[in-house]
Amino acid sequence: MQIIQSKEEFVRFLGEGSFGCVNLVRYSNPNDGSSYLSAVKNLPKKTMPISKANSLEESFSRSGKKLYKLQLEFASEGSLSAFMDNYTDRKLPEPLIKDFTWMILEGLVSVHGHGYAHCDIKPDNLLVFPCSSSEGYEIKISDFGSALEVGDVPKFWETNMPWMGTPFYMSLESVRDGVAEMSVDLWSVGCLVLEMYTGVIPWEGVNLHLLATLLCCGEAPEIPESLPSDAKDFNQTCFSREPEERGSATELMSHPFLSRPQGEENRGRENKKLVFVEVAQVENQTKKFQQETNDRCCCCFRQEASEVDVFFLQRPHSLREL
């Protein structure tokens, strides 16, 4: 993790989540005059395990409460949802839809490979970055606040409130039993593809009570006839009633809908990063390990549970100088 420079300048407020607010901050090197922008998350002391908090810079809120600063990569293009607002009727060009879908699946291969399901894949939780080496964009998965180990059931899940994540992107089996499975994320990918083509959220106009009933009856979002045949087949696979028929994120990357981007094979190998995973249990027994993986996952997340706190931390990319 890059060391925070002593000279910093608040630029603007970016947003606020369940565990803290995020500001855009410019850091300057007084020695050579160089500077860079970073999204800095201010986390309350109670959300950080001691083993991780000791490596972060401390600050104080206006009310005097101790905070910890966590530097994150700044997504200058914002979320996928905000990015879509720049296009007519929020409909993305098909080449961009295919590229983004590929990248999302690439990130899920990493998340699933660590034994987790994200459980809340949606446009607001996907961040868009300009490519540093060429024209175009990259997309990365963020906000792992709903993430669970595969096979777990969230404590807040109940039959009368059966939502593991954002309802309109949830799969039918997650509503029935609430078990976190990799297939839940693949259903959500199908919802994303529909939204990128149509500009409209899945199940628009359906209230939550009816949505839960439809999902429990095995219904899926309607796939417009206007979609290309390979896109319709891809979505039908994502919306399979039987979770195992959706395959895996890796298998979906081989679907005819996703023609492999030119040079992607070499780029994927060259850009592999280290993702650090720490599991800190209540008994203060801490297990750390490192695994090489791709760079489609960014940010830090804390799973809200009494038994286990989970953090995925990624070394930041080389930051562009301003």
pLDDT in tens, 118-162: 999 999 999 999 987 777 899 999 888 889 999 998 877 776 677
At residue 67, the pLDDT reads: 82
- CATH number of residue 186's parent domain: 1.10.510.10
3-state secondary structure (DSSP) of residue 194: helix
Based on the fold, state whether residues 53 and 84 are members of the same structural domain.
Answer: no
246 falls within a domain: yes
Q: Are 68 and 87 found together in one domain?
A: no
* 134 shares its domain with 192: yes
Query: Same domain, yes or no, for 45 and 150?
Result: no
**Same domain? 258 vs 110:** yes
Region 219-240 average pLDDT: 97
Q: How is residue 36 written in tokens?
A: 């860079």
Q: Comparing 269 with 19, which gets the higher pLDDT?
A: 19
pLDDT for position 45 = 63
Over residues 46-93, the pLDDT tens digits come to: 555 444 444 567 777 667 777 888 888 888 898 999 999 999 999 999
Percent of the chain clearing pLDDT 70 (strictly above): 72
Phi, psi of 303 (to 5 degrees): -80, 125
> Would residue 98 count as lying in a domain?
yes
Phi, psi for 312 (deg, rounded to 5): -110, 115
Q: Order of strands across the sheet with 286-293?
A: 286-293, 273-281, 308-314
- Residue 18's nearest CA partner among 59, 47, 40 is 47
Q: Residues 54, 89: one domain?
A: no
Contact residues for 31 (Cβ-Cβ < 8 A; gap 6+): none
Q: What is the pLDDT of residue 20?
A: 74
Last residue of a domain, one of 47, 72, 97: 72
* CATH value at residue 29: 3.30.200
- Are 52 and 189 members of one domain? no
**Residue 46 annotated as part of some ligand binding site:** yes
Domain count, the chain: 2
Task: Give the residue numbers spanning the domain of 133.
Answer: 80-266
151's CB contacts (< 8 A; 6+ apart) are: 179, 180, 181
Q: Which of 24, 39, 72 is the last residue of a domain?
A: 72
185 and 117 in contact (C-beta within 8 Å)?
yes
Shared-domain flag, residues 111 and 61: no
Residue 45 lies in a domain: yes
Say whether both 16 and 110 belong to one domain.
no
Q: The whole model's pTM is what?
A: 0.75
Confidence of residue 186 (pLDDT cuts 50, 70, 90): very high
Q: Are residues 197 and 94 in the same domain?
A: yes
For the annotated catalytic residues, the residue numbers are 120
Alpha-carbon span 145 to 118, nearest angstrom: 8
Question: Please, are residues 121 and 141 in contact by the beta-carbon 8 Å criterion?
Answer: yes
Is residue 104 a part of any domain in this protein? Answer: yes
